[in-house]
Amino acid sequence: MSKIFFVENRFRTEAWKFLARALRHEGHEIFWLVENRAFAPAPEYGKVFVIPYPSGKELKQAPEYRSQYLPSSDRAVNYFGHKDTRHYGYYYEKFFAILKEVMPDLVIGESTAFYELLIVDACRNLGIRFLHPSSCRYPTGRFSFYLNDTLEPYLGSGEELSDEAADAIIASISQRKIVPDYMKKKKVSLQAALRRIGDLLFLTRNYYGGEHYHTPSPFRKIGLDRELKRYVRRWNAVAERKYPRIDGKEFKVLYPLQMQPEANLDIWGNPYRDQARTVRLILEQLPADARLVVKPNPKAKYEMTGDLLSLVEDDPRVIPVPLPVSMGEVLPHIGMVVAVTGTIAIECILSGKPVITLIRTLNNTVASCPYVADPKEMGAYMVRAAAGEFPAASQREKRDFLRLLNRTSYAGLPYENHMVRQEEFEKVLTAVKTLL
């Protein structure tokens, strides 16, 4: 039997509890690492290690071998105004000691919050597997176990797709008839709205109960949300003035903004987490007669900054897209896409749209999606795309790529907000068992 650690992640812990109970029933030893004590599971789910909130005298500088992403990926530092990072050293020592004592066969959690990244780093140093279950975007209804704090899928089901099945999926994605599971619109019921209010009140109590390192001050959160509303109004105002130019004949490059804070950009795409800077890098390489189309995420969050807004307003080469406009409306006008780690790269590969990425992933196994190690290389790809000389993927190469995504993933969805659907849970449990 195996020793398995789960890492508390607020409300997502409910999904881990389902897995923990089933695995414990089968004889596996289950352990928990908990930063936010309000979400500590009951003893029936395994042995729980709750790390006490540090006192002032326990704070210390983080070790030099901490995760490369801290503090540049810490949302408390980047968005919530937390200045002191001396708690990193305190938490790292606690995590390392517990993990070294137990030496689990597997740690399951996310690689998002500061404490999760410290656990990832401790696992690296101890030679312990840390896996982050998350949607693999395409094919839909599937997820991958990502290794440590990377987008590198660990193992996979090995399931193969027939030519017919692959072609059908490719056609559906190319025609935008299907979207990734996390992008599907969900009806906002009264029950869900009330639950959300309850969650916020619960987190507020946690903050005043001592959890200051990952939970923002309620006043800071209110201020950020008010600022976001102002930024959204400002964005839509300038977009209303500049977006009609998308019908012009100039060659257009698209940069889709990615939501923040999210692991997708703050962790996996960390070198490009400052999206205003990324837009500037693209503009520096943009051909003189081209335009840069910047499309925001419809659920815009803290990636909307004053710096980004000023850039979009002031540079005549930038065409901002109004928030309500869909990607399907924008793409027909686009000659090439620049992405960091977004889903758009997969969609471009399968639909034949020229695309480059600034972070290396599985997407770059296809010649039609080059990885750009140096932003100065972007200009040459833009020129090639404008001249119709960009590398194109054959139907066979598209099938092979989709098969790769399928083989390195598993059927099932690890979690969906508070809900853990029984049929999905059974699939995820089956996938976890293959790791053991």
* 100 and 130 share one domain: yes
Q: How confident is the model at residue 182 (pLDDT cuts 50, 70, 90)?
A: low
Residues 171 and 238 in one domain: no
Contact (CB, 8 A) for 204 and 46: no
Task: Answer yes or no: do 364 and 431 share one domain.
Answer: no
Task: Tell me: do 337 and 412 sit in the same domain.
Answer: no
| Same domain membership, residue 428 and residue 384 | no
Tokens read off for 33: 């690492």
- Residue 130 and residue 50 share a domain: yes
CB–CB of 19/109 below 8 Å?
no
Look at the block and give the residue holding tokens 């982050």: 132
Structure tokens at 75: 């949302």
Q: The domain containing residue 69 runs over which residues?
A: 3-176+408-435
Whether 205 is covered by a domain: the verdict is: no
Tell me the mean pLDDT in the region 36-48: 96
User: Which of the four pLDDT bands, split at 50, 70 and 90, describes residue 422?
Assistant: confident
Three-state DSSP state, 1: coil
Residue 431 lies in a domain: yes
- Paired strand residues for 153: 146
Q: Which residues contact 279 (CB under 8 A, 6 or more apart)?
A: 255, 292, 294, 308, 311, 312, 318
Domain count, the chain: 2
Instruction: Assess whether pLDDT exceeds 90 at residue 415.
Output: no
pLDDT mean over 352-375: 97
Q: Give yes or no: residues 50 and 32 share one domain.
A: yes
What integer pLDDT is reported at residue 62 of this predicted model?
Answer: 67
DSSP conformational letter for 70 = T
Asked if 107 and 171 sit in the same domain, the reply is yes
Least confidently predicted of 44-53, 175-184, 223-232, 406-415: 175-184
- Integer Cα distance of 305 and 224 in angstroms: 11
Q: Is residue 193 part of a domain?
A: no
- Domain presence at residue 183: no
Give a yes or no: residue 196 inside a domain: no
* Domain identity same for 135 and 64: yes
70 and 123 both lie in a single domain? yes
Note if the bond before 391 is cis, omega within 30 degrees: no
Indicate whether 181 pLDDT > 90: no
Q: What is the pLDDT of residues 54-95, one digit of tens each?
A: 988 888 776 665 556 688 899 999 999 888 888 999 999 999
CATH of the domain at 50: 3.40.50.20
Which DSSP state fits 82?
Answer: -
Has residue 80 been placed in a domain? yes
Percentage of the chain exceeding pLDDT 70: 94
State the CATH number of the domain containing residue 348.
3.40.50.2000
SS (H, E, C) 307-355: HHHHHHHHCCCEEECCCCCCHHHHHHHCCEEEECCCCHHHHHHHHCCCE
Instruction: Calculate the average pLDDT of the chain.
Output: 92
Are both 417 and 398 inside the same structural domain?
A: no
DSSP reduced 3-state for 55: coil
User: Which tokens sit at 189?
Assistant: 């019921």
Q: Tokens standing for 95?
A: 């995590």
> Which helix (DSSP H) or strand (DSSP E) does residue 102 occupy?
helix 87-102
pTM of the model: 0.93
Are 152 and 281 in the same domain? Answer: no
- Give CA–CA dist 185/129, Å, rounded: 34
Q: Is residue 89 part of a domain?
A: yes
Residue 203 lies in a domain: no
Q: Report DSSP state, residue 281.
A: H
Answer whether residue 333 shows pLDDT above 90: yes
